[in-house]
């Protein structure tokens, strides 16, 4: 059987797709890159935004048009949120809520083991350390789709990381709410990272997204160690810099000021530290004053990149009932202003990094070759003979706003 696999959404979804890919391959299926060549299609869906769900519907229709006899299976968060609606789509034979790799294989008549992939398709490997979330942000449909926090055991994760490190120079720890890792099992994210760094010294580890106020001293020390274990990069969701909006969002565990203090404590005086954040523009009830507060907070902190998007209503979430809608024009304008400020901060940081050194991993092949530094900067390796997956210390130079990486002796 030839199977086409397409993934929408976050790194947790991408990890789940890697598990599905491994299960299908172990069961004798051939993975193809063009749906026109496939006997079956698997779509791993996302429910974060309306656009993500629209992309899923388009992909399912496209598959049915190109292969009228194709068998389609839809898994993931949107599948958990709207099973009946998705099941009514063309050629959808099975809807598998959530991760469900074994269920996907079974739906296609493929018998496979529960083995997790030791080698993934990307240069950097993904390792999902937990699933679910115990928070209830009023804008988020993921908690409704994924359920409560569930942590994997440290021995299980160390074992998988050791196998991944045989093929991948970096392992990204991912999940739905990784800052809550271990709360259900009596451990912590810091303890897990310590165990991984000790057991797998050949790879560097990266956190996908962690609330700033959930970084304890143990984890902070790892982030600032610069020992090649845990990279100095933190993606800390902000969402808004206005306290009244944060309360409407249900993000009760921090305020703008506690977020700022946490970030300043984590980054401190480090000259090499990447800091990213998610920000929502145009949340219901957001005023121009709230937007200015967010702009001011963003400008005051050492961000090196922002992920900004206009608010997207999600059916079943409370946000759509707790404030007056912000016009699409205003939400777009605010998002553009935040993106521009994020790019200004990113440009300043890239300029400061020029002339320094970085731990670079070469990503992609020669036609699409780039590199990724420990602080999450995209660079162009000056030596085009370096193979994908190469990891080495390089010197950075800046030319026309582009960072180039030059090999140097360790």
**Which pLDDT score, from 0 to 100, does residue 99 have?**
77
The CATH number that domain 125-352 falls under is 3.80.30.20
367-409 pLDDT tens trace = 678 999 999 999 999 988 899 999 999 999 999 889 999 998 6
Please identify which residue in the block is written with the tokens 């003979």. 385
Which tens digits make up the pLDDT trace of 149-171?
999 999 999 999 999 999 999 99
DSSP string, 288-307: HHHHHHHHHHHHHS--SEEE
Q: Kindly report the CATH number that applies to the domain delimited by 354-407.
A: 2.40.50
The 10s digit of each residue's pLDDT in 167-197 is 999 999 999 999 999 999 999 999 999 999 9
Instruction: State how far the Cα of 297 lies from the Cα of 376, in Å rounded to an integer.
Output: 22
CATH of domain 2-107: 3.40.50.12160
- Helices (runs of H) and strands (runs of E) counted in the chain: 13, 18
The model's pLDDT over 290-301, given as tens digits with 9 standing for 90+, comes to: 999 999 999 999
pLDDT digits (tens, 9 = 90+) for 100-116: 788 999 999 998 776 67
Question: Of 321, 319, 304, 311, which Cα lies nearest the Cα of 403?
Answer: 304
Q: How many of the other CB atoms lie within 10 Å of CB of 202?
A: 11
pLDDT value at residue 405: 96
Domain edges within the chain? 2-107, 125-352, 354-407
Tokens representing 292?
Answer: 């200015």
CA-to-CA distance for 245 and 208, rounded, in angstroms? Answer: 25
Which segments of 168-252 are extended strands (E)? 170-174, 204-207, 233-235
391: which strand partners? Answer: 361
CA atoms within 13 A on the CB side of 348: 14
Cα 377 vs. chain centroid, distance in angstroms? 16
End-to-end CA distance of the chain: 48
């Amino acid at each position: 059987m030839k199977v086409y696999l397409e993934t929408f959404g976050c790194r947790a979804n991408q990890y789940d797709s890697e598990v599905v890919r491994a299960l299908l391959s172990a069961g004798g299926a051939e993975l193809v890159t063009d749906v026109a060549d496939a006997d079956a299609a698997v779509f791993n869906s996302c429910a974060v935004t309306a656009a993500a769900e629209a992309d899923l519907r388009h992909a399912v229709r496209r598959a049915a048009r190109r292969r009228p006899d194709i068998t389609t299976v839809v898994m993931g968060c949107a599948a958990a949120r709207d099973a009946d609606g998705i099941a009514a789509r063309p050629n959808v034979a099975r809807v598998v809520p959530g991760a469900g790799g074994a269920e996907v294989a079974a739906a296609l008549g493929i018998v496979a083991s529960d083995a997790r992939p030791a080698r993934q398709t990307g240069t950097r490997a993904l390792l999902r350390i937990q699933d679910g979330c115990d928070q209830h942000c009023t804008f988020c449909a993921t908690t409704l789709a994924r359920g409560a926090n569930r942590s994997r055991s440290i021995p299980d994760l160390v074992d998988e990381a050791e196998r991944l490190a045989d093929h991948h120079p970096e392992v990204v720890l991912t999940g739905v709410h990784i800052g809550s890792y271990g709360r259900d099992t009596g451990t912590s994210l810091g303890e897990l990272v310590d165990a991984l760094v000790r057991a797998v010294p050949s790879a560097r580890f990266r956190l996908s997204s962690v609330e700033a106020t959930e970084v304890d001293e143990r984890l902070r020390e790892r982030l600032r160690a610069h020992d090649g274990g845990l990279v100095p990069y933190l993606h800390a969701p902000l969402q808004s810099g206005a306290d009244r909006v944060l309360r409407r969002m249900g993000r009760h565990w921090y305020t703008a000021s506690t977020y700022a203090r946490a970030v300043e404590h984590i980054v401190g005086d480090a000259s090499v530290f990447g800091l990213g954040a998610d920000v929502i523009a145009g949340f219901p009830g957001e005023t121009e004053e709230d937007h200015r507060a967010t702009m001011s907070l963003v400008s005051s902190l050492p961000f090196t990149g922002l992920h900004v998007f206009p608010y997207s209503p999600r059916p079943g979430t409370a946000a759509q009932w707790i404030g007056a809608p912000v016009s699409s024009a205003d939400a777009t304008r605010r998002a553009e202003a935040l993106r521009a400020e994020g790019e200004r901060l990113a440009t300043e940081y890239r300029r400061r990094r020029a002339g320094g050194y970085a731990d670079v991993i070469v990503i992609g092949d020669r036609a699409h070759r780039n590199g990724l530094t420990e602080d999450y900067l995209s660079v162009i390796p000056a030596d085009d003979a370096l193979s994908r997956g190469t990891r080495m210390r390089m010197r950075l130079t800046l030319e026309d706003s582009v960072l180039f990486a030059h090999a140097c002796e360790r």
